[in-house]
């Protein structure tokens, strides 16, 4: 394995300093040792280029073109392309080029539609209130602590994703339904195999390796459940149309607010595409939400003064709205949004964004050949003092001024441009609602808790 700096191959010292499980640490080391642009060769002749300067990241984005390309979820793509009776594409995550855009353009019409996402806010709020009540109920006697909190958060975001997208409830949060457990396990399994199958030797392309078999089993489960809900919704919509026709109402009601799933059907997507999108959404919505929430609560736990300020805002807004989180409440929750942004800066759940360069490009005076895989290092640079004074401190107040506190390409939790996170609107609504509901709860307090490298919050994959 070699790292190239300024075109000179420099072998990484064989001291075990780089670990596939400590990507943030690897990124920091590379910046310190080799500077703001680093090339690493992976097995299989793939070049990885790490960018640490926001100007260079901006330059990369400026060249990403109409169909920004990413190299990820390759084994998932194989799973789907091998099953044309179930899927018409590899899905939005791994597909590139025009085929990606055909899927994305239709899907984002629904997922980015303000009214479609907001139409689910009352149900999302109900789930969040239930969660706040549940954690008060399940506290251990004596210590008042809640055990297995991350699992509870994953269960919450599974329910929130299903509620936001499929308009159904899997069940109460403390009811361990088979379907909820199977889905949560299948999503965990998929997330565990993505990185090793993308970056390893890729034997799975030729033989069914144990990793690939885990993916197949997990994806079979996700497909089965997604298919069931899509089929049910399809039937429901067909019956509604037939009923309207029978009643003589031929024109569609244009004032009717359609939900995300409903607008998937209206957008001309095939049923197979919709099942694929629902599966991708289940995979995209659970761990991302649960870990972000965990980091928000962790940051508040260790900054009691900020926790108090958030609680004050949450109680003031919820007292005026009968305890309900509404679109008005969300639009007025200024401190909450600053808390979220500061958490994305200190604890983004993604180290940065990956792109495959589409044409030969010059960055920082170096010619970067077409097909190079670039990984931006936002997680590392958003903690550098040249971008944020006192960078290790959790200071939501940085974000309350009119002017942005740093270069706009330093903190990019949802990516940027046409290939940025398609679920951002839904994710932000879900996260803001749960933080307001938990933050306003007078019986809940986040107690000081320090994470160490050993006690980290990232899933340990078996
Ligand atoms: C805090 C929550 C979330 C964070 C921080 C997050 C972050 C990201 C990031 C960094 C990307 C890559 C963007 C890029 O390449 O420019 C991404 C892509 C994506 N996200 Fe999210 N995400 C979150 C929640 C969600 C949710 C709730 C969903 C689904 C409902 C979702 C679905 C997706 C999908 C399908 C893509 C691929 C889009 C494409 O390739 O066109 N994400 N997300």
Number of the ligand 1 atom closest to the C-alpha atom of 277: 35
Q: What is the pLDDT of residue 268?
A: 83
Neighbours of 31 (CB within 10 A): 19
Q: What is the pLDDT of residue 8?
A: 34
Distance 423 CA to ligand 1 centre (A): 6
Task: Map out the domains of the chain as residue ranges.
Answer: 1-65+351-410
Secondary element (H or E) of residue 356: strand 354-356
Asked if residue 355 has its Cβ within 6 Å of ligand 1, the reply is no
Residue 165 in contact with residue 261, Cβ under 8 Å? yes
Q: Which two tokens stand for residue 275?
A: 């099942």
- Of 284, 358, 419, the one to substitute when testing ligand 1's pocket (max ligand atoms within 8 A of C-beta) is 284
Distance 422 CA to ligand 1 centre (A): 6
If you take atom 19 of ligand 1, which residue's CA is the nearest one?
A: 421
Residue 367 in contact with residue 40, Cβ under 8 Å? no
Residue 298 in contact with residue 458, Cβ under 8 Å? no
The count of residues in the chain is: 462
Distance 285 CA to ligand 1 centre (A): 8
Separation between Cα atoms, residue 156 and residue 442, nearest integer Å = 20
Q: What is the pLDDT of residue 306?
A: 95
Q: Single out the residue of 229, 214, 218 nearest to residue 182, CA to CA.
A: 218
CATH code for the part of the protein at 1-65+351-410: 3.30.43.20
- Of 102, 107, 421, the one to substitute when testing ligand 1's pocket (max ligand atoms within 8 A of C-beta) is 421
Q: What is the pLDDT of residue 451?
A: 58
- Of 291, 414, 417, the one to substitute when testing ligand 1's pocket (max ligand atoms within 8 A of C-beta) is 414
Q: What is the pLDDT of residue 162?
A: 93
- In 3-state terms, what secondary structure has residue 42? strand
Residue 372 in contact with residue 47, Cβ under 8 Å? yes
Number of the ligand 1 atom closest to the C-alpha atom of 108: 41
H helix count then E strand count, the chain: 16, 8
Q: What does the pLDDT profile of the chain (462 residues) look like in tens digits?
A: 333 334 333 434 444 667 666 777 889 999 999 999 999 887 667 788 999 999 999 999 999 989 999 989 999 999 999 999 999 999 999 999 999 999 999 999 889 989 889 999 999 999 999 999 998 888 777 777 777 888 899 999 999 999 999 888 988 898 888 899 999 999 999 999 998 898 778 899 999 999 999 999 999 999 999 999 999 988 988 888 888 888 876 555 545 556 788 888 888 888 999 999 999 999 999 999 999 999 999 999 999 999 999 999 999 999 999 999 999 999 999 999 999 999 999 999 999 999 999 999 999 999 999 989 999 999 999 999 999 999 999 999 999 998 888 999 999 999 999 999 999 999 999 999 999 999 998 777 777 666 555 545 455 565
Q: What is the pLDDT of residue 70?
A: 93
Asked if residue 153 has its Cβ within 6 Å of ligand 1, the reply is no
Asked if residue 284 has its Cβ within 6 Å of ligand 1, the reply is yes
End-to-end CA gap in the chain:
25
Query: Taking the C-alpha atoms of 399, 303, 345 and 407 in order, what is their torsion angle to the nearest 10 degrees?
Result: 40
Residue 116 in contact with residue 423, Cβ under 8 Å? no
Asked if residue 421 has its Cβ within 6 Å of ligand 1, the reply is yes
Asked if residue 288 has its Cβ within 6 Å of ligand 1, the reply is yes
Number of the ligand 1 atom closest to the C-alpha atom of 427: 27
Q: Are strands 373-376 and 366-368 parallel, antiparallel or unpaired?
A: unpaired
Measured in whole angstroms, the distance separating CA 452 from the mean position of its chain's CA atoms is 23
If you take atom 7 of ligand 1, which residue's CA is the nearest one?
A: 414
């Amino acid at each position: 394995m070699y790292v190239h700096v300024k075109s000179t191959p420099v072998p990484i010292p064989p001291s075990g300093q780089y670990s596939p499980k400590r990507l943030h640490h690897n990124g920091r080391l590379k910046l310190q040792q080799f500077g703001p642009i680093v090339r690493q060769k992976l097995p299989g002749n793939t070049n990885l280029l790490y960018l640490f300067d926001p100007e260079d990241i901006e330059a990369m984005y400026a060249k990403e073109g109409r169909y920004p390309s990413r190299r990820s979820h390759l084994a998932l793509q194989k799973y789907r392309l091998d099953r044309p009776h179930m899927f018409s594409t590899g899905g939005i995550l791994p597909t590139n080029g025009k085929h990606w855009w055909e899927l994305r353009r239709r899907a984002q019409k629904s997922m980015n539609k303000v009214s479609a996402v907001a139409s689910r806010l009352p149900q999302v709020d109900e789930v969040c209130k239930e969660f706040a009540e549940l954690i008060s109920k399940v506290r251990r006697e004596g210590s008042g602590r809640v055990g297995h909190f991350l699992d509870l958060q994953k269960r919450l975001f599974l329910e929130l994703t299903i509620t936001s997208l499929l308009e159904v409830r899997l069940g109460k949060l403390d009811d361990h339904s088979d379907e909820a457990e199977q889905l949560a396990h299948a999503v965990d399994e998929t997330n565990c195999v993505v990185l090793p199958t993308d970056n390893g030797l890729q034997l799975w392309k030729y033989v069914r390796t144990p990793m690939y078999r885990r993916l197949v089993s997990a994806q079979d489960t996700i497909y089965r459940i997604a298919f069931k809900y899509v089929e049910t919704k399809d039937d429901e919509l067909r019956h509604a149309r037939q009923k309207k026709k029978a009643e003589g109402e031929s024109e569609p009601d244009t004032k009717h607010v359609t939900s995300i799933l409903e607008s998937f059907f209206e957008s001309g997507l095939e049923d197979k595409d919709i099942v694929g999108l629902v599966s991708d959404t289940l995979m995209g919505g659970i761990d991302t939400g649960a870990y972000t929430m965990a980091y928000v609560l962790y940051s508040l736990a260790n900054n009691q003064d900020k926790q108090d300020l958030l609680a004050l805002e949450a109680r003031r807004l919820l007292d005026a709205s009968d305890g309900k989180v509404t679109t008005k409440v969300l639009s007025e929750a200024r401190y909450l949004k600053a808390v979220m942004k500061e958490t994305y800066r200190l604890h983004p759940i993604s180290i940065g964004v990956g792109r495959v360069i589409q044409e030969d490009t010059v960055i920082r005076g170096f010619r970067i050949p077409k097909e190079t895989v670039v990984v931006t290092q936002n997680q590392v640079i958003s903690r550098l003092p040249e971008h944020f004074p006192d960078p290790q401190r959790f200071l939501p107040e940085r974000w309350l001024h009119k002017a942005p506190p740093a270069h706009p390409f330093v903190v990019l939790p949802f990516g940027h441009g046409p290939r940025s996170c398609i679920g951002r609107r839904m994710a932000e609504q879900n996260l803001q609602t749960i933080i307001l509901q938990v933050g306003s709860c007078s019986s809940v307090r986040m107690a000081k808790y320090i994470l160490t490298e050993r006690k980290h919050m990232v899933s340990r994959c078996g």
